[in-house]
C-alpha cells in the first residue's frame, strides 16, 4: 500500500485548478473557476472548481471532491491508481508499505505481442477473421491475436525467460497431469484490459472446432470477469462523448459495432450483467443500451439486466436483435441503416421487464392474469413511487384490467429522499456559515430549534450529524450564498425567530383553540421583545 505520509506529501504538491486545467478548459468566475461538466452532458457550465477549498463540485450531477477524486472519476481509476497517476504527473515520489509488491503484469503484454505476431502468419486464423468481416483496422485496434499449440506457448515463455509462476498466476498456463499446458490453444485471442488499461486476461475463440467455442482467462488475482467489460478502455472516451454505452454479449459484437461506428460498445465476459458491473456502468452516468440476441437465453439475460438496471435507477433500455441475427452479422452484411434504426428505438428497462413478465403467462385465464399482475406488481414495488405509478397504468392496459382495482397507494414507500429542490437562501446562508465555522454551531443550537428550519431542515441535521456528507459540499462552493460573522449570524437568527413566531401568530389567529386570546398576547409580546433585541432565546 502507498503510505499515508507520501499521500499527504503528494497532496501538498498539487493544486486543484492546475490539475483540472490539464483536462478541462477552466474559466475564471469570481473566486472560483467554471467549466462544462465532463461527467454529464451540458451546455452551460455548472462544474465549479474552488481553489480556496481545493475541491470541485458539479451543481448539475452532484459529482465532486478533491484532486484525487477528480482523477479517479475522469480517468476511471481506483484510489491508489489515481494517486500513482498524480504522482507521476507532478514528479512526486511515493513510498509503499513493505508488504506491498506492485503487481507486475508485463508478462501479459509480452504474451499478447506474441499472439498478435502469430496471427500475421496463420492463414486459418486470418481466414476466419476475414469470413466474419473483421477489418485489418479492427484487428489492430483490438489487438486480436492467435494462440498456438500448447507446446509452442510454453516454449515461447521458456525461451524468453519469462516467469512461469507469473504465467500460471495470471492464467496463461496451468499444471496438468502431464506437466504444464497452455490455457489458450489454437484460438483467436482478444486481450481484455482493466480500467487502468493493463491487460488482465484474454478471451479466446476456437478455430479448430473445440467444444468450448469461447473461453476466458480463469479467475486470477487480476482477472475477475464479473467486474470487467470487454472493450471498455477503447470505448470510454466515446461513452462520455455520446453519453451512452452499448452493452452486448460477445467479443465479436464489440469489434464489429466499433467497426460500424458504434464505438461506445462493450461486452460482458460470458456472464450476465451483475451488481458488480454497476460501478463501471455508473461512470459518467451514460444511458445504457442493453443489446442482446433474440434467442431464449438472450431474452432472459435482457430481463435480468432490465430489472437490475431499473432498480438501480439507470436510464436506458433494451434492444433485441431478431432471432438468429447478431449485431456482428448485421455489420458484416452492411445493414448499418437497420442497425441505426434498432439502436435509436430501445424499449426502456421498466417496460421491457413488464412485457417480459406478462409474456410468461397465458392472459386468457383470469388466474394467470392475476399471477402476472402479482409478479409485475412485486417488481414495480422496488421502483420509485413516480415510476411505479407511471407504469401501473401501463400494466393495467396491457393486462386489460381496470386500474381502480389496482391499489398501489397503500403500499409502503421504499425510498427516503432528501429534498434539495426548494430553496431558502437565508437558511442556506446559516448552514454555510456553520460549515465554514463550526464554533458557531452552539450559538445556533442555543438560539433556535432545528424544527424552525422550514426548507432545509434535512441539510441542517446533516450538518450536525455528518458534516462531511458530500451533499453539503456544493453549498461550500456556492458564491451566491454568503456567510455571516458572529454578530450578523445572531441578527439573522433573531429574524428567523421573528418569522417563526409571526407564522405561529397567524396560525393561532385563524384557528379555534381554547385560550386563544392569551396565546395571541403571549406571541405578540415575544415578537415585540425579539424586535427590540431584548429576547433571543426561544
Ligand atoms: Zn456534472
Give residue 419 CA to ligand 1 midpoint distance, Å: 19
Give residue 275 CA to ligand 1 midpoint distance, Å: 24
Give residue 477 CA to ligand 1 midpoint distance, Å: 14
Confidence band, pLDDT 50/70/90 cuts, at residue 189: very high
Give residue 145 CA to ligand 1 midpoint distance, Å: 39
* SS3 of 298-326: HHHHHHHHHHHHHHCCCCEEEEECCCCCC
Give residue 38 CA to ligand 1 midpoint distance, Å: 7
Distance of alpha carbon 527 from alpha carbon 490, whole angstroms: 16
Contacts of the segment 529-537: beta carbons below 8 A, 24+ positions apart: 530/494, 530/497, 530/498, 530/501, 531/498, 533/494, 536/447, 536/490, 536/493, 536/494, 536/497, 537/446, 537/447
Confidence band, pLDDT 50/70/90 cuts, at residue 411: very low
CB contact at 8 A, 241 and 223: no
Give residue 357 CA to ligand 1 midpoint distance, Å: 35
Give residue 46 CA to ligand 1 midpoint distance, Å: 7
Give residue 347 CA to ligand 1 midpoint distance, Å: 26
Per-domain residue ranges for the chain?
4-89, 106-223, 232-353, 361-405, 425-531
Pair type for strands 244-248 and 287-292: parallel
Q: What is the mean pLDDT of the chain?
A: 87
Give residue 26 CA to ligand 1 midpoint distance, Å: 14
Give residue 295 CA to ligand 1 midpoint distance, Å: 38
Q: Using one digit for the tens of pLDDT, what is the confidence trace for 326-336?
A: 788 888 888 88
Confidence band, pLDDT 50/70/90 cuts, at residue 348: very high
Give residue 383 CA to ligand 1 midpoint distance, Å: 24
Give residue 424 CA to ligand 1 midpoint distance, Å: 23
Torsions phi, psi for 221 (to 5 deg): -70, -15
Residue where the block lists cell 504538491: 13
Give residue 210 CA to ligand 1 midpoint distance, Å: 48
pLDDT at 227 over 50: yes
Give residue 134 CA to ligand 1 midpoint distance, Å: 37
**What pLDDT shows up at residue 421?**
38
Residue 271 CB partners (closer than 8 Å, separation 6+)? 225, 226
Asked if CATH classification 2.130.10.10 holds for the domain at 425-531, the reply, yes or no, is: no
Give residue 61 CA to ligand 1 midpoint distance, Å: 4
Give residue 43 CA to ligand 1 midpoint distance, Å: 11
pLDDT at 101 over 60: no
pLDDT at 349 over 70: yes
Give residue 36 CA to ligand 1 midpoint distance, Å: 8
The CA-atom distances, in angstroms, between 314 and each of 79, 102, 346, 358 are 24, 35, 14, 22
Give residue 48 CA to ligand 1 midpoint distance, Å: 10
Query: In which region does residue 243 sit, left (phi positive, over 0), alpha (psi from -120 to 50) or beta (all else)?
Result: left
Q: What grid cell was written down for 144?
A: 486480436
Give residue 124 CA to ligand 1 midpoint distance, Å: 49
Give residue 33 CA to ligand 1 midpoint distance, Å: 14
Task: Report domain 106-223's class.
Answer: alpha beta
Give residue 16 CA to ligand 1 midpoint distance, Å: 17
CATH architecture of residue range(s) 232-353: 3-Layer(aba) Sandwich (3.40)
Residue 531 CB partners (closer than 8 Å, separation 6+)? 498
**How many Cα atoms within 13 Å fall on the side-chain side of residue 23?**
19
Cα dihedral 380, 381, 387, 391 sign = positive
State the maximum Cα–Cα separation within the chain, in Å, rounded to a whole number. 100
Q: Using one digit for the tens of pLDDT, what is the confidence trace for 453-491?
A: 878 888 888 888 888 787 788 888 887 888 888 888 888
Give residue 414 CA to ligand 1 midpoint distance, Å: 27
Give residue 159 CA to ligand 1 midpoint distance, Å: 52
Give residue 318 CA to ligand 1 midpoint distance, Å: 25
Taking only Cα atoms into account, the Rg of the chain, rounded to an integer number of angstroms, comes to 30
Q: Using one digit for the tens of pLDDT, what is the confidence trace for 434-447?
A: 988 888 888 888 88
Q: Using one digit for the tens of pLDDT, what is the confidence trace for 15-66?
A: 999 999 999 999 999 889 999 999 888 889 999 999 888 899 999 888 999 9
Assigned superfamily of 4-89:
Zinc finger, CHC2-typedomain (3.90.580.10)
Give residue 62 CA to ligand 1 midpoint distance, Å: 6
Give residue 18 CA to ligand 1 midpoint distance, Å: 19
CB contact at 8 A, 263 and 238: yes
Query: In which region does residue 431 sit, left (phi positive, over 0), alpha (psi from -120 to 50) or beta (all else)?
Result: alpha
pLDDT at 414 over 70: no
pLDDT at 353 over 90: yes
Give residue 28 CA to ligand 1 midpoint distance, Å: 18
* SS3 of 8-22: HHHHHHCCHHHHHHC
Burial of 3 per CB tally in 10 Å (0-12, 13-18, 19+): middle
Amino acid at each position: 500500500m502507498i503510505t499515508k505520509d507520501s499521500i499527504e506529501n503528494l497532496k501538498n504538491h498539487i493544486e486543484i485548478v492546475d490539475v483540472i486545467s490539464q483536462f478541462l478548459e477552466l474559466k475564471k468566475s469570481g473566486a472560483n473557476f467554471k467549466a462544462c461538466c465532463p461527467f454529464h452532458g451540458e451546455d452551460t457550465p455548472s462544474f465549479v472548481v474552488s481553489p480556496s477549498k481545493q475541491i470541485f463540485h458539479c451543481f448539475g450531477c452532484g459529482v465532486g471532491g478533491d484532486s484525487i477524486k477528480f482523477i479517479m472519476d475522469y480517468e476511471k481509476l481506483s484510489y491508489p491508481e489515481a494517486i500513482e497517476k498524480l504522482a507521476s504527473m507532478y514528479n512526486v515520489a511515493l513510498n509503499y508499505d513493505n508488504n506491498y509488491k506492485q503487481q507486475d503484469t508485463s508478462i501479459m503484454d509480452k504474451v499478447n505481442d506474441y499472439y498478435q505476431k502469430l496471427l500475421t502468419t496463420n492463414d486459418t486464423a486470418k481466414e476466419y477473421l476475414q469470413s466474419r468481416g473483421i477489418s485489418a483496422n479492427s484487428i489492430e485496434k483490438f489487438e486480436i491475436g492467435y494462440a498456438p499449440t500448447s507446446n509452442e506457448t510454453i516454449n515461447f515463455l521458456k525461451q524468453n525467460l519469462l516467469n512461469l509462476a507469473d504465467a500460471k498466476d495470471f492464467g496463461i498456463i496451468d499444471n496438468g497431469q502431464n506437466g504444464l499446458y497452455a490455457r489458450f490453444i489454437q484460438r483467436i485471442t482478444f486481450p481484455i484490459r482493466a480500467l487502468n488499461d493493463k491487460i488482465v486476461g484474454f478471451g479466446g475463440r476456437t478455430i479448430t472446432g473445440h467444444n468450448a467455442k469461447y473461453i476466458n482467462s480463469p479467475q486470477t488475482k487480476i482477472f475477475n470477469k464479473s467486474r470487467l467489460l470487454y472493450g471498455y478502455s477503447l470505448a470510454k472516451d466515446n461513452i462520455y462523448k455520446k453519453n451512452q454505452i452499448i452493452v452486448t454479449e460477445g467479443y465479436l459484437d464489440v469489434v464489429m459495432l466499433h467497426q460500424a461506428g458504434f464505438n461506445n460498445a462493450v461486452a460482458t465476459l460470458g456472464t450476465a450483467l451483475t451488481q458488480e458491473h454497476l460501478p463501471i456502468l455508473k461512470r459518467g452516468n451514460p444511458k445504457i443500451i442493453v443489446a442482446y440476441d433474440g434467442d431464449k437465453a438472450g431474452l432472459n439475460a435482457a430481463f435480468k439486466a432490465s430489472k437490475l438496471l431499473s432498480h438501480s435507477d439507470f436510464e436506458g433500455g433494451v434492444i433485441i436483435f431478431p432471432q438468429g441475427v447478431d449485431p456482428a452479422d448485421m455489420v458484416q452484411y452492411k445493414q448499418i441503416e437497420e442497425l441505426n434504426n434498432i439502436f435509436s428505438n430501445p424499449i426502456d428497462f421498466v417496460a421491457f421487464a413488464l412485457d417480459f413478465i406478462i409474456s410468461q403467462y397465458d392472459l386468457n385465464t383470469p388466474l394467470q392474469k392475476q399471477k402476472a399482475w402479482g409478479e409485475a406488481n412485486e417488481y414495480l414495488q422496488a421502483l420509485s413511487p413516480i415510476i411505479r405509478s407511471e407504469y401501473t397504468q401501463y400494466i393495467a392496459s396491457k393486462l386489460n384490467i381496470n386500474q381502480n382495482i389496482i391499489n398501489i397507494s397503500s403500499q409502503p414507500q421504499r425510498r427516503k429522499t432528501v429534498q434539495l429542490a426548494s430553496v431558502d437562501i437565508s437558511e442556506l446562508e446559516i448552514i454555510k456559515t456553520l460549515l465554514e465555522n463550526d464554533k458557531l454551531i452552539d450559538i445556533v443550537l442555543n438560539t433556535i430549534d432545528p424544527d424552525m428550519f422550514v426548507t432545509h431542515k434535512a441539510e441542517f441535521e446533516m450538518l450536525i450529524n455528518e458534516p462531511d456528507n458530500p451533499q453539503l459540499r456544493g453549498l461550500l462552493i456556492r458564491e451566491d450564498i454568503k456567510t455571516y460573522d458572529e454578530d450578523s449570524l445572531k441578527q439573522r437568527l433573531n429574524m428567523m425567530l421573528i418569522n417563526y413566531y409571526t407564522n405561529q401568530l397567524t396560525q393561532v389567529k385563524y384557528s379555534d383553540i381554547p385560550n386563544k386570546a392569551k396565546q395571541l398576547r403571549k406571541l405578540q409580546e415575544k415578537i415585540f421583545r425579539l424586535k427590540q433585541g431584548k429576547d433571543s432565546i426561544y
